[in-house]
Structure 1
Amino acid sequence: MTDSTTGSALTWSTVEHYLGEGLGTSYRLSSGDGHPVVSYEIGHGGRDIALFVELGRGQQPPRSPLPAVRIDQVAVDRGLRMARIRTTQVELMRDFHDLLLAIADRIVTKNRSLDRAFSETVDGWSSLLDRPRALSFERRIGLLGELSMLSRLAEKYSWETAVEAWTGPYGEEHDFALLDFDIEVKTTAAERRRHVIHGIEQLQAAPDRPLWFASLRLTRGGAGGRTLAESVHAVREAVAERAPASLARLDAALRSSGWSAEGADDERWTPRDDALVLAAESVPRLTSALLAAATLERISAVRYETDVTGLTPTPGAPVNLAGLRLP
């Protein structure tokens, strides 16, 4: 399937629809009036996106100084040689989409060569690269996971109890602290349930308080998905209606999480499958017992990844997360 459109008309919501449905397509961005062929491609299966730019005789693709951006040469129909610009980081596709359209715009509307369009775009963005977005990709989907857990806890207990139990934004070791147990929530958009653990204590239960670990997987939801802004709005409305005295605490937790209503937010997500709930001791983890005391004293910070893909859920979880949805 091939469509003709301009870069400005190719919105992320359109691209995300194809990604969410697992469909591939091609959008021609150049007019064909003396311009090189420029097309935006969504790979078959909806797995990736790329920009294709026609190469002239003897022209070679530019070299990318960005580790997450690859540029190579491919042959397409009618013997055309094309430069293909793609990313190795699937989680950065939303930002990469904007980068591709900026490059295409310089080629199509400003008659820049591919080399110049690419270097100008990278140079133009370089001043912004040192200033991270208000919420990184990991923190955005992490907040979505915590809001989902917050909503489920509110169903079992109350909104007042759920908001009071949400301690993660305040720097506590675990995301939720209920009366008799704690919960740590980890969310990923990857195929495997691989999660980043911050510190030795994050998966260590407090004395006489069981710690449960919830692994959530999200996938791009297209038109049927939820944005972070929509989930935040739904939670705030529910708290305002059912536990208005807790609204100020909720807003404080959202601010501490880095949430701002002014941030760009057009990524739509939906759960990929049911959450996996494990007792903390069933999670592959580092503990102080595994490290010699003398060694631990000299280590100021620990960050590692644990993979819980394929593990069997631990029976007796205090909260049923079956059918968990984004609020």
Structure 2
Amino acid sequence: MGSRRNEAEDDPGESVSVGEASTIELPWTTVEHYLGHGLGASYRLSAADEPLVSYEIADAGRGIALHVELAGRHHAPRSPLAAVRIDRVLHGGRRLARVTTTEPELVRDFHDLLLAVADRIVVDGQGLARAFDETVHGWSALLGRPRGLSRERRLGLHGELAVLVRMAGTIGWRAALDTWVGPTGEEHDFALESADLEVKTTASERRRHTIHGLGQLTETAGRPLWFASLRLTRGGTGGRTLADSVRATREAAAAESIALSRRLDGLLEAVGWDAEQPDDERWTPRDSPLVIRATDMPRLTADDLPEGAVARIDTVNYTVDVTGLSSIGQPPPLDLSDLPLP
């Protein structure tokens, strides 16, 4: 297997290569290492005597790009995708087409797209326009098929498992599993003895969370509702995949009782967890969770709508930013300070 020239100065141990099937291989774990540490890197994908094709990782975690040298009078093609931008840049005396994404939260999937385009250019000898067009059309048949859990739901499950493990350390696994009612279709994630708890997890810099429905932040009569905001950041090789968190949680439950581990499996199945799903994104907590009363944060409930409007509105989804907020009054029902991933 012949290695391509690696131009990264701080290589975590892996490099770009051409596999046995003559396809370009740049493991996501390598890219994630640089993104997680805020380091820049450049990997040349084409041979030294061929027009430049390189995979670029911007410093400070600002994303990834594919650079393709434009020979002669060739121009950068237009992108039909709103999430993908292709523009022209000058670098080192070369005219280059630069392929970037306008959606940083899709960087993991964008990585796969860039490698697919680069493979058609470097291995199959196609031009950028044709390589990009064929890649987009080749993937279009798959766009309507769900790729397991969405990214939002995977991050959410990370957070809920972290809270579940903390809960089990306080009241035991049997009681902790009783409190995790979200997978069974209840409005809130956890039903504690005297309060409810809604858990949201984000990978963004700010505590911005999507709220699904008018009831998600509505208190049940006589039971205060608390809201936990968790922030994760890419952890590189030291982070935890969702599979790692699931495995650790199952082992902890099984240590108390095999029956409890099986019960946990049923709850995981109910939320859509599948061990066969692609899973190579590693995360670590950015800081301690923010835990506040739902009544102390911006929210929408059925009471906020005009009389009769609820019956005519099918779906309400909105994003709320709780950055910098704090709760007033009594302490939260569960201490989530310095909460680790399982």
TM range, normalised to the smaller chain? over 0.9
Q: Partner residue of 2:270?
A: 256
Match for 2:159 among 127, 145, 157?
145
Q: Partner residue of 1:32?
A: 48
Amino acid at match of 1:152: R
Q: Partner residue of 1:109?
A: 123
Q: Partner residue of 2:16?
A: 5
Is the CA contact 2:199–2:230 (under 8 Å) kept in the aligned structure 1? yes
In 1, the alpha carbon distance for the partners of 2:325 and 2:209 equals 14
Match for 2:316 among 281, 302, 312?
302
Is the CA contact 2:117–2:131 (under 8 Å) kept in the aligned structure 1? yes
SS of the aligned residue for 2:268 comes to helix
1:244 is aligned to 2:255:
no
Give the deviation of 1:36 after TM superposition.
Answer: 1.9
Give the deviation of 1:9 after TM superposition.
Answer: 3.7
Please list the CA deviations of residues 84-120 of structure 1 after superposition, one character each: whole Å capped at 9, or x if unmatched.
Answer: 1111111111111111011111101110111111011
Indicate the percent of aligned positions where both proteins have the same amino acid. 59
In 1, the alpha carbon distance for the partners of 2:127 and 2:17 equals 18
Please list the CA deviations of residues 268-291 of structure 1 after superposition, one character each: whole Å capped at 9, or x if unmatched.
Answer: 000111100001101200122211
Q: Partner residue of 2:132?
A: 118
In 2, the alpha carbon distance for the partners of 1:321 and 1:25 equals 36
SS of the aligned residue for 2:215 comes to helix
Q: How does 1:218-237 map to 2 (within 5 A)?
A: 218-237=232-251
- Structure 1 outlier segments of 4+, above 4 Å: none
Alpha-carbon RMSD: 1.3
In 2, the alpha carbon distance for the partners of 1:243 and 1:221 equals 31
In 2, the alpha carbon distance for the partners of 1:6 and 1:56 equals 24
Give the deviation of 1:297 after TM superposition.
Answer: 2.0
SS of the aligned residue for 2:142 comes to helix
Is the CA contact 2:296–2:327 (under 8 Å) kept in the aligned structure 1? no
Give the deviation of 1:244 after TM superposition.
Answer: 2.5
Give the deviation of 1:32 after TM superposition.
Answer: 2.6
SS of the aligned residue for 1:218 comes to strand
Amino acid at match of 1:209: R
Amino acid at match of 1:52: H
Amino acid at match of 1:225: G
Please list the CA deviations of residues 176-208 of structure 1 after superposition, one character each: whole Å capped at 9, or x if unmatched.
Answer: 112211100000001111111111111011111
Is the CA contact 1:276–1:313 (under 8 Å) kept in the aligned structure 2? no
Please list the CA deviations of residues 245-279 of structure 1 after superposition, one character each: whole Å capped at 9, or x if unmatched.
Answer: 22222111111111100011010000111100001
Amino acid at match of 2:78: R
1:318 is aligned to 2:333:
yes
Please list the CA deviations of residues 277-322 of structure 1 after superposition, one character each: whole Å capped at 9, or x if unmatched.
Answer: 0011012001222111222221122111111011124451111111
Is the CA contact 2:226–2:292 (under 8 Å) kept in the aligned structure 1? yes
SS of the aligned residue for 1:200 comes to coil
In 2, the alpha carbon distance for the partners of 1:49 and 1:161 equals 45
Amino acid at match of 1:326: L
Q: When you count helix as a share of all residues, which structure comes out higher?
A: 1
In 1, the alpha carbon distance for the partners of 2:260 and 2:194 equals 21
Match for 1:23 among 35, 39, 50?
39
Q: Partner residue of 1:72?
A: 87
Amino acid at match of 1:64: S
Task: Pick which of 311-320 and 274-283 moved more.
Answer: 311-320
Match for 1:273 among 287, 290, 299?
287
In 1, the alpha carbon distance for the partners of 2:182 and 2:263 equals 13
Q: How does 1:44-193 map to 2 (within 5 A)?
A: 44-77=59-92, 79-193=93-207
Is the CA contact 2:35–2:59 (under 8 Å) kept in the aligned structure 1? no
In 2, the alpha carbon distance for the partners of 1:114 and 1:291 equals 51
Say how many residue pairs are matched: 325
Match for 2:58 among 20, 36, 43?
43
Is the CA contact 1:6–1:30 (under 8 Å) kept in the aligned structure 2? no
Question: Could you state the TM-score of these two structures normalised by the residue count of structure 1?
Answer: 0.96
In 2, the alpha carbon distance for the partners of 1:202 and 1:213 equals 10
